[in-house]
Structure 1
Amino acid sequence: MPRYSTDFIRAMPKADLHLHLDGSLRLDTLLAMAKTLKVPLPADTVEGMQAQVFKPAYQNLGEYLHGFQYTCAVLRDADHLTQAAYELALDNLAEGVNYIEVRFAPQLLMDLSKGLDFDTVMRAVNAGLHRAELEYNSSAAVVEQGKPPFRYGIINCAMRMVAAKGFSPYYDQLFQLMRDFEPMQVIKLAAMELVRASVRLRDDEGIPIVGLDLAGQESGYPASKFKEVYDYAHQHFLLKTVHAGEAYGAESVFEAITECHADRIGHGYSLFLPERIQDPAIADPAAYSQRLASFMADKRIAIEVCLTSNLQTNPAIADIRQHPFAEMLKNRMATVICTDNRLVSNTTLSNEYQLALDHFDIPIKRLKDMVAYGFKKNFFPGSYVEKRQYAKTCLQYFDRVAQHYGFISG
């Protein structure tokens, strides 16, 4: 099994396609923002927050998600959104990540009482990312050293499950206004409003909103309930990813592809765990999983793989080698290494690549393929011709880095 140095992994060009803004703040920034907005936290030091909230390991998914109540609270401020987005771009650039797709649920961050509507939230996030893009692309790293320029897209998340009270100011008001509707009707209405607003702002102001995601609890909230929302995205050329197969069986992944036109799958962790399939109509779960994997591989439907996050939310996994990523590689699937949440998982994209490369057999040519998927399966905010040229530039740079470190990448 080839060994790859930390320096090589940091130097090679990378793309992170599954990156939650509200799960990836700098911890010292979170503390400062909370102080400004007078948001109470369990601790007032980095060490205290790491001990009580953002831990090295979690008991379950619920504990993993606990910290989002604090990150979302401090991000309900336009200046904070801009700062968080800007710092996230800088943190990625510092470790050789030159393309990112930042995702978040705008409706969790909106607060109309503060004038923080959808458009304001999106403009604030875009301002931070755009500032980083302008600064980096005019820097010596790009102009003189010939590194690939920085590009980004924004993916908006619709929520598949929302509590009727206390989830966010936006949802509290919406449930109050629609108190005679069933909860799922309210949730679906919010999702449709999100996708319509995303298309409008993309088309009217050119904000690079490149995709739609569906996040939140899978069990009991199947993607098929949001078919009309995804149909609207599909009809308006907004690309689609879905959190699927994270905490539910392979039928969740199939549903995301067939009902929601998913171009990519977030996590897909349960794809090769036939014991998680619950649909009684599936007579042979193992065969079903294998056929679905083969179909996805043939269609090049990429999986956004988040190793550390999966280990933390599935504590039953004793060894990283037990992760279904091994089966994804064996089945020649299009996989893209991602972070999910840099703060919550205490990770970086370089760390995620190191984890994969240290524990799975990935020759240099296969590594280049994986890196290539990050640039070829992304939702690039430009034409297909521009995307191809950008991918070519990034992969040529990969060859330069590989050669410098003594690899022949082919």
Structure 2
Amino acid sequence: MTQAYSHAFLKAMPKADLHLHLDGSLRPAGLIEMAKRSKVELPSYTVEGLYDLVFKESYQSLGEYLNGFQYTCAVLRDMENLEQAAYELAQDNLAEGVIYIEVRFAPQLMMDPARGIDFDTVMHRVNRGLARAKAEYNNQSDVLAGTRPPFDYGIINCAMRMFGKKGFSPYYTHLFQMLRDHEPKQVIKTAAMEMIRASVRLRDEEGLPIVGLDIAGQEMGYPAHEFKEVYEFAHQNFMLKTVHAGEAYGAESIFEALTLCYADRLGHGYSLFSPEMIQDPRITDKEEYAQRLASFIADRRIAIEVCMTSNLQTNPAIGSAQNHNFKHMYHNRIATVICTDNRLVSRTTVTQEYELALSAVEIPLKRLKDIVAYGFKKNFFAGDYLAKRAYAKQVLQYFDRVAEEHGVS
């Protein structure tokens, strides 16, 4: 039997979060403060009211889950708010022992051409907030002495699978007006290609730690293969890649992410072990297909970014953590990284996500350390490979010390 791990140990052990949406992870009090400053109307101006009306413990559907983003994105189009949100997000993670984060968001949701807020401005403000938190933490005496690992981060830029002609953001509205004679999907792909080209430019010319590409938004009707050229450009320019795949669509979407989009990691990947979700009529033996794909992923150590609370909220049919497919990922020895997805929208922390995973599967300390290690070995670290290895080694040595201090063996 696996020993019980205390909340104090799980909070103190070094952790990473590789699937962390900036616009879904604001402090509720921070959102209220930003909304007042920017004159953005909210349904409530108390934390309790926002929890009751918007950011709930459970949701009826994915649509209800996504409702809160209209408020967070609105306040983040103020660049002071955007920088503050990035800074506070790093602080909140550090407060619970999360020392490496990859913050993802769609920059084009924050851009506003009429106000002069372009891609570069958005990226620099996010980076400035994260860099300030990093400098403050890493200048502490025990970090400088090497007795505690430093904090680091990367930024993953998201292209959107779909957006409407009006309302998604001023940038997208403007783009549809500029390209009014194009088919909607051509406009969407044009925006995605502009985003990845700008990301590579800022990484290479200005040294911003933009470490990866993601594609987010509704899976159904907007398959990843439609963005193959975008992912090819990233691939050819040494930009690492993750894909929201297998969150709300069958395992064939995961296969597509791996084979057509060169995915280095998978976001969610829940449907890998739900063969009943496969819709491709060419796949006749769904069980065999799912198992072969799982073996392929495990053999190549492709990590899955697991977000259990989010999955339970957006797919109420799962029911409980014990029914979540994490247990199948674990037993099939797939590299899994425990992540939050959206700290505010899901009202969760990395520590809580570990507690949820441990409530579903008995995990001995050695395997728990493996899961922690995946967050540092499978990340998209901004430095070179040797620096990444050295950082991971330092973190895992610290894990051992924390375990010993908490009497975990």
The interval holding the TM-score normalised by the smaller chain is over 0.9
Runs of 4+ in 1 over 3 A off after TM superposition: none
- Map of 1:401 onto structure 2: 402
Deviations 1:317-345 (A, max 9, x none): 22211000010011000000000000000
- Map of 1:313 onto structure 2: 314
Pairing 1:55–2:56 present: yes
- Map of 2:262 onto structure 1: 261
- Paired residues of 2:322 and 2:359 also in contact (CA < 8 A): no
- Map of 2:113 onto structure 1: 112
Distance in 2, Cα, partners of 1:22 & 1:140:
32
Following superposition of structure 1 onto structure 2, how do residues 36-51 of structure 1 map, counting pairs within 5 Å? 36-51=37-52
- Map of 2:16 onto structure 1: 15
Following superposition of structure 1 onto structure 2, how do residues 75-224 of structure 1 map, counting pairs within 5 Å? 75-144=76-145, 146-224=147-225
Distance in 2, Cα, partners of 1:357 & 1:7:
14
- Map of 1:352 onto structure 2: 353
Q: Unmatched 5+ residue regions in structure 1? A: none
- Map of 2:70 onto structure 1: 69
Q: Cα offset for 1:406?
A: 2.1
Distance in 2, Cα, partners of 1:54 & 1:234:
36
Deviations 1:90-126 (A, max 9, x none): 0000000000000000000111122210000000000
Pairing 1:296–2:304 present: no
Distance in 1, Cα, partners of 2:38 & 2:362:
48
- Map of 1:231 onto structure 2: 232
Distance in 2, Cα, partners of 1:215 & 1:89:
22
- Paired residues of 2:228 and 2:260 also in contact (CA < 8 A): yes
- Paired residues of 2:303 and 2:378 also in contact (CA < 8 A): yes
Distance in 1, Cα, partners of 2:90 & 2:232:
31
Distance in 2, Cα, partners of 1:402 & 1:30:
36
SS of the residue 2:316 aligns to: coil
Distance in 1, Cα, partners of 2:189 & 2:144:
46
Deviations 1:351-407 (A, max 9, x none): 101111122111100000000000000000000000000000000000111112223
Deviations 1:276-302 (A, max 9, x none): 000000010111000000000000110
Distance in 2, Cα, partners of 1:8 & 1:236:
40
Distance in 1, Cα, partners of 2:398 & 2:358:
20
The amino acid of 1:343's aligned partner reads L
Pairing 1:341–2:342 present: yes
Deviations 1:74-93 (A, max 9, x none): 00011111110000000000
- Map of 1:369 onto structure 2: 370
Q: Cα offset for 1:161?
A: 1.1
- Map of 2:287 onto structure 1: 286
Q: Cα offset for 1:145?
A: 7.2
Distance in 1, Cα, partners of 2:15 & 2:50:
29
The amino acid of 1:60's aligned partner reads S
- Paired residues of 1:77 and 1:116 also in contact (CA < 8 A): no
The alignment's C-alpha RMSD in Å is 0.8
Distance in 1, Cα, partners of 2:319 & 2:339:
21
Distance in 1, Cα, partners of 2:80 & 2:135:
18
Q: Cα offset for 1:43?
A: 1.1
- Map of 1:241 onto structure 2: 242
Distance in 2, Cα, partners of 1:333 & 1:189:
35
The amino acid of 1:402's aligned partner reads A
- Paired residues of 1:3 and 1:358 also in contact (CA < 8 A): no
- Paired residues of 2:268 and 2:307 also in contact (CA < 8 A): yes
- Map of 1:31 onto structure 2: 32
Distance in 2, Cα, partners of 1:47 & 1:40:
16
The amino acid of 2:108's aligned partner reads Q
Q: Greater CA deviation, 7-16 or 353-362?
A: 353-362
- Map of 1:250 onto structure 2: 251
* Superposition TM-score, scaled by structure 2 size: 0.99
Q: Cα offset for 1:146?
A: 1.2
SS of the residue 1:316 aligns to: helix
- Map of 1:270 onto structure 2: 271
- Paired residues of 1:251 and 1:279 also in contact (CA < 8 A): yes
- Paired residues of 1:274 and 1:289 also in contact (CA < 8 A): yes
SS of the residue 2:55 aligns to: coil
Q: How many correspondences in the alignment?
A: 408
Distance in 2, Cα, partners of 1:104 & 1:400:
34
Distance in 2, Cα, partners of 1:279 & 1:211:
29
Deviations 1:39-65 (A, max 9, x none): 111111111111110011100100000
Q: Unmatched 5+ residue regions in structure 2? A: none
SS of the residue 1:350 aligns to: helix
Distance in 1, Cα, partners of 2:70 & 2:406:
43
The amino acid of 2:254's aligned partner reads V
